[in-house]
Structure formats: C-alpha cells, structure tokens
Structure 1
Amino acid sequence: MKPKLTQEQKLTWKLTQQLGQAIEILQYNGFQLQQFLEEQMKENPLIEIETESFTSDYTRPKQGMGFDESFWIDEEQDLADYMKEQLIDKDLSPSFREIVEFGIDSLDENGYLTVALTDWQLAFHTGEEMIEEALELIQSLEPAGIGARTLQECLALQLRRKPVPNHLAIDIVTNHLEWVADYRIEEMVLEYGVSEKEIKEAIQDIQALYPKPGILVAGRTSSTIIPDGEVYQSEGTWKVALTKWNRPSVTIYDYSLNQNDLSQEEKEFFQKYTQQGKWLQKALIQRSDSLERVFAAIVKHQILFFDQGPERLKPLVLREIAEELNLHVSTVSRAVKEKYLQTPHGVFPVKFFFQSGLKSNTGEISAYAIKILIKEMIDYEDKQKPLSDQKISELLKHEFHIEISRRTVAKYRLELKLPSSNRRKRRMHNE
C-alpha cells in the first residue's frame, strides 16, 4: 500500500504544480510570456520555442472623440484598481461592495484613508459596524498597511501580518513611535522591562516597514505597452486576433529514438524533459484559446464601443463573461490582467472594457460614459458660476435621463481629478 500511496501523492503534487503553472501562464502578458519561455528553453534542452519579436508601433486612444488624455488609463498601475481586483473572489453583497469601493476610492496615493468614518457612514446611511467591517476588509488587502488612518496604525497593520508578529514592536509603534525616531533605547528598556537586544530587534523590525504602502503599487510601471490582441473589422464584422507572440510554437526533439542502448538514467532524463515539453505545448494552446475566447466575448458585449467610440462603452462585469464562457471569474480576471487590445480607437487595457454602470431611461450606461458627460459639463460651464455637484446631478437627470446622486457625481469628479466648484471658482479668481 505504501508504494502506491507514495505514487498517488507524487502524482497529485505534480498535477497541482502543473495546474498552478498553467494558471500563472494565463496571467502573463506578451512580454512576461516571452521572458518565461526564454527561461524554459534554458532549463529544457529538448525544446525549441519560436517567438516573434516585439514592435512598438502602437498608439494611445485618438483625440477628438469626446475625451482627452486624462481618460487614458496610465501605464502606471492604479492603486484603487489594484485593490478592487482583490475583491473579485470575495462573496460580497452589491451594497456592501459599494461601501468597500467607496473606502478604496477614498485612499490617497500613499494608501491612507482620507475620509472620516462618520462621513463614510453618513454617505451610505448605514451603521458604524458596517463601516468598521468595510475598513477591516480594506486593511486585509495587499499591500500590508493599506487603509490606515495614521502612520502608527499603518506600521502596526504591517507588523500584525508577519508570520510571527512582534508584539513589542506593535506596542512601540502604537504608543511611542517618536522614541524610535530618536533611538531612545534606554527609555524603551525602562518602559517595557526587556533587554536592550530585544528593543533593538523590535526597532529593526519597525525600520523594515513601509510608511507609504500605496507607493509600492502606484510606483510600479510597465516600460512598454505591448498589445496582446488586435480587434479589426472584416466584411462588416468585428473580429479578434491574438498577436503573434501570444501563439508561440514549441518543438520537442526526441533524441532517444532508436537508441536502445540508453542507460536508465538517460531514459529518465529524456522522459522527464519530453513530458515537460508536452505539458508546455498543451498549456500554451490552452492559454491562447482562453485569451481568444475572453477577448471575443468582450468585443461582442462592447460592439457599440467599436462601432461608435468610447462614449458608447456599456457596463460590463467579469461575472457576465465568466458565465457566458463557463469559466470561473478568477480565470477571466487572470486572462485580462495587464493585457492590452489594439483597436481602431487606439490601444486600451483589457480591463478598461469592464465598467460599472447604472440604468437610465434610455438603457444602461457605463460609469465611463457618465464621466465623459461630467467632464464636458465642467469644461463648458460658466466660469463665473461653476456647476456644483448637485447641479450636475440635476442636469444629468433632465438632459440625459441619467439619475445619479450628488455623492456619485462627487466620486466621479474626484476620479477625474477635477476640483470642486468652490475650488474651480477660487482658482479662476486667483488667475
């Protein structure tokens, strides 16, 4: 029984490992995939992989379509998007998800919460417990320390995430952080009744933390945008083609053929690397098929975008595509992560096509399209009497049959990095 059990355990571990690698390959963009394949060729002497070199002849979204550069999702990774992606696999009610996302949108670039809990509570007419639960969820996300209200809380959150939390360090950052800055070792020894060595170890743990965890995300950039697929029109139909570097060709050379005099060790060598090569072939085909299916489904749902432009972008969520393709939501999430599509309107991140939205009298409209309207209203407002968020809400209702609250207008305006009406008026007078 024992040999059989051991074999089954090895097989289970191998299958689990291969599944994990297949999932990892799916989330690679074209550039990351090429790097991965180069490593595979170094490790496996029996395979050869043909990949295409990259070109950089790609454009950002074109001008003159009702939006400008501020609507482009920057190459620099957005902290709010990064955190909202972590909510995908969490089973949250729509109302609670909105509360959590409001909190995420209220983080500054350093990752600190900028809204008071009482204001957060009033914004949703909900209880204190609900807001505290939302904050606790945000503070459990990556990077550690996110969602803190003070530097002390930020550092304590990071320390509590350690495999073995240093409770002495947690107490020091919570109650005596200034002692760390001044390196007041003796006072800490007297205060806590521990050895100087323990205090110095606690200080080392504290000094290894990040006082601005949001920068860890917002500071990461991709040096080059490489489209993973192209959307084009053929005979009146929108179609998708993966770029060539997303369809690499793997050749396996079996040098063991007709060589009966191989040693057992040599046979095992050829068997191992041949199997690895076959698995890689299969995983790459599966990745390409998954990407193509997901991209094609997105194009089908966003046909008005391709026909008429970005202002006709429809609301779309990952779950819709997942259910349509009979895939798990996390699979779709990995398929679109850090991927880009070349379109007639320019190159867009694939996640751009997933937009929240709401219903209007003329049908569903995406948050992105509403932002375009809000920006245009502010661009063409009477500069002597800038539009308040409440007035914008009323104009959207009366002129476009779109009903959104003043609070939602304020949220979208902040996402567009547009100041309030008071600040716009003050800025004009200062000029």
Structure 2
Amino acid sequence: MKQGLSLRVSQHLALTPQLQQSIRLLQLSTLELSQEVEQMLDENPFLELTQDEAVREDFGIAQADTPVTRDDREAETAPTSIADYASTTSAEATNDDEATPLSADDGVSWEGDGTTDMAPDDGEWGGEAKASTNNLGDDGDFDATELARTQESLQAHLHRQALRLRLSPTDTAALRFLIESLNDDGYLDEPLEDLARGLCGGDLDQLDDLVHHFTVALHLLHSLEPVGVGARNLGECLRLQLKALQADEDLSDERSALLAVAVRMCSQPMDLLARRDIKRLVQLCDATDAQVREAIALIARLEPKPGRRFVDVQRNIVVPDVLVVPVSKRPGVVNTKFRVLLNPEVMPRLRVHDIYANVLRNHRGGKDTASHAALQQRLQEARWFIKNIQQRFDTILRVSTAIVERQSSFFVHGELAMRPLVLREIADELGLHESTISRVTTAKYMATPFGTFELKYFFGSGLGTESGGNASSTAVRALIKQFISAESNLKPLSDNQISDMLKEQGIECARRTVAKYREGLKIAPASLRKAL
C-alpha cells in the first residue's frame, strides 16, 4: 500500500452552540420556554427581566431564518478557552432550518464572541415581551397545579368515612390496607389471597387469618361511598350499585323486578351487555324482552368507575402563543379579514443588565484576564439567548400568518371549510425547511374565533372529489360528525350509509376510511348508537 498526502475541499454543516440553542428554543412549548427562561435568569447575572419594551436588535432579527453570516462565524471561532473546538467547526454553516437539533451533551460550553468590545448601550439587546405568567392574578407564587392538588383523593375520602366505624385495631388496619390497594378507578385489582400472601410470606396459618380479616374489611369497604368502590371487576361494581338501589324501601313491585333482572344481567359475561345481545340475555336472565331493554337503559346510567371523580387530573392550562383577531368591520357584514398577533403574555421581556455590563466594560484592562474572559463569555451568552428568543417568536408569527392566509375560510365558516394543507406548502412559501415547520407547529397554540387549537390542527391530508380537487380530512371528519348528530336514534347511520352520503357531496371516502374517522372522533358504531 502506497502512502501519500493529498488536499481535498469539502463542505459540512457546523452546528455552533448558538445555532443549537436556536433550534432547541424553537421546539419548546410555552411552559418549557418559561422554565428555560427562569433557569437562564438564575444562571446568568447579565440577564434580567424588564417591564419596559426594549428596542429590538438591529443585526438581522427581522429575517428570522437567515444563514449564519461570516462575521458571526469569525466571532464564534475567535481564540478563546475552547479554541480547539472552534478550529474543528470553521466550515461555513448553511441554513439553520436544515439542521437537526442536538442534545445538550453534544455541544460544548458557550464560547462567546472572543472579544472585549461592547456596544455603547447594552440595552439594545433587550427583548420585547413580558415574562410568562399564569394569568390568574398578581400573586406570582400562585400555581394551577397546586390548585389541582387540593382536590380530595379517593383514599382520603374513604379513610375519613372509616373513622366513623367502630372497628377493632386489626380490622381497622385491614380496611386501611385495602383502601390503599385500590386503583384510580376504585377497583381492587389483586385478589385477597395475593394481598395476604404478600404480608405473611409462607405462614399458612397467618395467611388464612389475614384472608378472613380482608374478607370482613372488603364487606365494610363495599358499604362506603361512592357505591361500587372495592369491586374486583365491572360486573361486581354494577351489582353493588344495583343492590344499593334495591335497599330503597319505597320501591314498587315493577321497579323491584326490574332491578332484579338488572342484577342477574350483571352476573352474566359483560360482552353480552356490551354487544346488547338481547336475545341471549332474555334466555339467561329469565326475563321478557321489554325488561331486558329497560334494564340495559338502567345499567347505562350507572357509574362504571366509582373513583373517577376523585382522580387528581393535572390541570393543563393551554395558553395560546398566537392570537387571531378579526379586523374591525361594519355591522351586519361578515368579517373575512383577520390579524395575526403574538400573545404578549407568553413573550418574556429580557434585556442585558446595564449596570453589570458597564462594570465589565470599565474594568476590561484588569489583571485577572481569565475572570474577565469568563464574564465576557456570560455576557455574550445572554445576548445570544435574547436574540434566539426573538427569532423563535418571529418564526412562529411568520408560520402562523401563512397558516391563516391558507386557511382563511376556516376562520369564517369553521372546520367544515378547512382546506387540505401539508407542511411542505408552508415550508416552500416561507423558504424554510419542513423540519422547522414541524418544530414550530408542535405544542404551539392559536386562539381563533372557534376556539384554541394546536398549529398542527390546521394541517391535514386531502381526499379526492368528483371535481378533481381535494377535500381536507378535517372537514370530512366534521361532516361525518354532523351527519351522525342529525341521525335518528331509532335508525342510526351505518358506515356504508355515511360513505354514500359523502359521495353525494362529491367526496370519495371509502367505508373503512369512514370507520377510521368515526373511531378517531370516539363515536360508537351504529349498533351501539341505536336506541332501545
């Protein structure tokens, strides 16, 4: 093998720390961005919040997605404490929209611009939006998640009722153990034997004793509110609720007979009830057809998950990033023009701390060069963070404006007027990469006259029409929902009938596609929508 030297010219993409941060901020949600800003404020002394609207940067932020300039590359690769890394990434960086985000571990520490010269007024680096707030008052410490935690849990509700029972210490401990073993729906998933075996190990005598105490405690648990708690399966849960109704002394004979039939039905396999197999239930429950139908209607009004109302569901407050407001119009005239605005409540107003920046500038000739370089690096980091925040919101505004222009009919007539739209169309219009549009439209929300929607909601595939055009899948779903809401309860529409109705509207939609859209809308099939 012959060895030799050769020169080769090539280009590759260099992801600078600033570019990595820009991509990462772009894909953050509003809540994640707020957390990022708070963390940056804690770590960087040169960064501060301001209530005043600062002057925008004048070095190209108006074009949010321009390539990295030569001056920026030279500033980033100037000799610093990490000059070795800079020398390996000196190739020209292309459009940042083509870049793939890297994790924090893939980058290196912030390198700054390698200079000690500063602008006459550091206030020019300021942002233009207020810090993210919860919109719930002036108390900055108020948190919606804390409000959610104040809801009483199922276990606490049951423990409070158990305090009123006069039980022995052993039975009290057994009842408390069962209460703590319930799942979120109020069911006891594990058999009593398994629960006892986990406590006693291999001692058979103690196992039998524990099973006995757990059995007594289970009967006590079934007597607590909500009715049906502690059931081992759905059938038992429904039977407990029906038996509680049977305890009413003022029941008529007809009502009592109906409840007895319902109890027998809940003792049968639940799939018969789910399929509404009336003929089979009539045979198994020794009842008439009318009684079975009435019992099914009665069972449908019971609560299959007794613990549902106690579940501590996290309150996810959606704050829109973009506001779409109609332009002023004359009375009686339908408004077809809308204005797209960034929500000022989610835009952090950031700027460089003037006092600290001036102190650093006045002492740039000190003896401690290393400390001065480190502080200079932190200052440059604050400047780039503000710039990337501005660039993030500029990109969101550009994409949102393009979406509103393409889906203008939606803002007038609603989802039935939605047009087919894919990410590529917006990317080509704005000169961005498709991956950038995907990042911008994920976890970003738009407030419209018809509600608040994620930006991805406005994108959807198209179905062919008789005229040769396309109909949005979102509009087709809305049309299917409209058909079903207007159907007769006695004769609900089948998927085939809905498919034929769509064809009458000029939309080619197969039965399987209708079934897929219907299931996506969480609408039951025709057999279960039919009134008994």
TM-score, normalised on structure 1? 0.55
Answer whether contact 1:37 1:49 (CA < 8 A) is retained: no
Q: CA deviation at 1:310?
A: 2.2
Q: Do residues 26 (structure 1) and 26 (structure 2) align?
A: yes
- Residue 385 of structure 1 corresponds to 491
- Once the two structures are superposed, residues 72-105 of structure 1 have per-residue CA deviations (whole angstroms, 9 ceiling, x without a partner) of xxxxxxxxxxxxxxxxxxxxxxxxxxxxxxxxxx
Structure 1 355/221 Cα, relative in aligned 2: closer, same or farther at 3 Å? farther
Answer whether contact 1:30 1:245 (CA < 8 A) is retained: no
Could you tell me how far apart the structure 1 residues matched to 2:314 and 2:427 are? 28
Could you tell me how far apart the structure 1 residues matched to 2:340 and 2:29 are? 16
- Once the two structures are superposed, residues 50-93 of structure 1 have per-residue CA deviations (whole angstroms, 9 ceiling, x without a partner) of 43343558xxxxxxxxxxxxxxxxxxxxxxxxxxxxxxxxxxxx
Report the AA paired with residue 375 of structure 1.
Answer: K
3-state DSSP of counterpart to 1:419: coil
Instruction: Give the counterpart of 1:230 among 299, 317, 323.
Output: 323
Report the AA paired with residue 276 of structure 1.
Answer: E
Could you tell me how far apart the structure 2 residues matched to 1:17 and 1:222 are? 35
Answer whether contact 2:49 2:131 (CA < 8 A) is retained: no
Alignment of 1:245-394 (within 5 A): 245-253=345-353, 254=357, 255-259=359-363, 260-361=365-466, 363-394=469-500
- Once the two structures are superposed, residues 204-236 of structure 1 have per-residue CA deviations (whole angstroms, 9 ceiling, x without a partner) of xxxxxxxxxxxxxxx997721111010112256
Report the AA paired with residue 409 of structure 2.
Answer: L
Q: CA deviation at 1:237?
A: 2.9
3-state DSSP of counterpart to 1:307: helix
Alignment of 1:27-426 (within 5 A): 27-50=27-50, 51-56=130-135, 223-234=316-327, 237-253=337-353, 254=357, 255-259=359-363, 260-361=365-466, 363-398=469-504, 400-425=505-530
Report the AA paired with residue 19 of structure 1.
Answer: L
Identity %: 39
Answer whether contact 2:423 2:437 (CA < 8 A) is retained: yes
3-state DSSP of counterpart to 2:361: coil
- Residue 183 of structure 2 corresponds to none
Structure 1 54/288 Cα, relative in aligned 2: closer, same or farther at 3 Å? same
Report the AA paired with residue 261 of structure 1.
Answer: G
Could you tell me how far apart the structure 2 residues matched to 1:55 and 1:305 are? 29
3-state DSSP of counterpart to 1:257: helix
5+ long unaligned stretches in structure 1: 1-11, 58-181, 183-218
Structure 1 424/246 Cα, relative in aligned 2: closer, same or farther at 3 Å? closer
Structure 1 417/365 Cα, relative in aligned 2: closer, same or farther at 3 Å? same
Could you tell me how far apart the structure 2 residues matched to 1:381 and 1:341 are? 32
Could you tell me how far apart the structure 1 residues matched to 2:23 and 2:132 are? 24
Could you tell me how far apart the structure 2 residues matched to 1:327 and 1:353 are? 18
Could you tell me how far apart the structure 1 residues matched to 2:337 and 2:478 are? 27
Report the AA paired with residue 360 of structure 1.
Answer: T
Answer whether contact 1:341 1:350 (CA < 8 A) is retained: yes
Structure 1 231/262 Cα, relative in aligned 2: closer, same or farther at 3 Å? farther
Question: Which moves more between the two structures, 247-256 or 303-312?
Answer: 247-256
- Residue 108 of structure 1 corresponds to none
3-state DSSP of counterpart to 2:325: strand
Q: CA deviation at 1:258?
A: 2.0
Structure 1 386/346 Cα, relative in aligned 2: closer, same or farther at 3 Å? closer
Could you tell me how far apart the structure 2 residues matched to 1:243 and 1:48 are? 20
Answer whether contact 2:133 2:346 (CA < 8 A) is retained: no
- Residue 86 of structure 2 corresponds to none
- Residue 68 of structure 1 corresponds to none
Could you tell me how far apart the structure 1 residues matched to 2:480 and 2:361 are? 69
Report the AA paired with residue 318 of structure 2.
Answer: I
Report the AA paired with residue 419 of structure 2.
Answer: K
Answer whether contact 1:54 1:226 (CA < 8 A) is retained: no
Answer whether contact 1:246 1:288 (CA < 8 A) is retained: no
Could you tell me how far apart the structure 2 residues matched to 1:270 and 1:372 are? 57
Structure 1 405/293 Cα, relative in aligned 2: closer, same or farther at 3 Å? same
Moved over 4 A (4+): 219-222
TM-score, normalised on structure 2? 0.45
Could you tell me how far apart the structure 1 residues matched to 2:35 and 2:314 are? 17
Structure 1 269/403 Cα, relative in aligned 2: closer, same or farther at 3 Å? same
Q: CA deviation at 1:16?
A: 3.4
- Residue 121 of structure 1 corresponds to none
Q: CA deviation at 1:361?
A: 3.7
Q: CA deviation at 1:278?
A: 1.6
Answer whether contact 2:48 2:350 (CA < 8 A) is retained: yes
Q: CA deviation at 1:382?
A: 3.1
Could you tell me how far apart the structure 2 residues matched to 1:296 and 1:245 are? 19
Could you tell me how far apart the structure 2 residues matched to 1:19 and 1:286 are? 11
Report the AA paired with residue 340 of structure 2.
Answer: V
Report the AA paired with residue 258 of structure 1.
Answer: N
Q: Which has the higher helix share?
A: 1
Could you tell me how far apart the structure 1 residues matched to 2:513 and 2:431 are? 33
3-state DSSP of counterpart to 1:241: strand
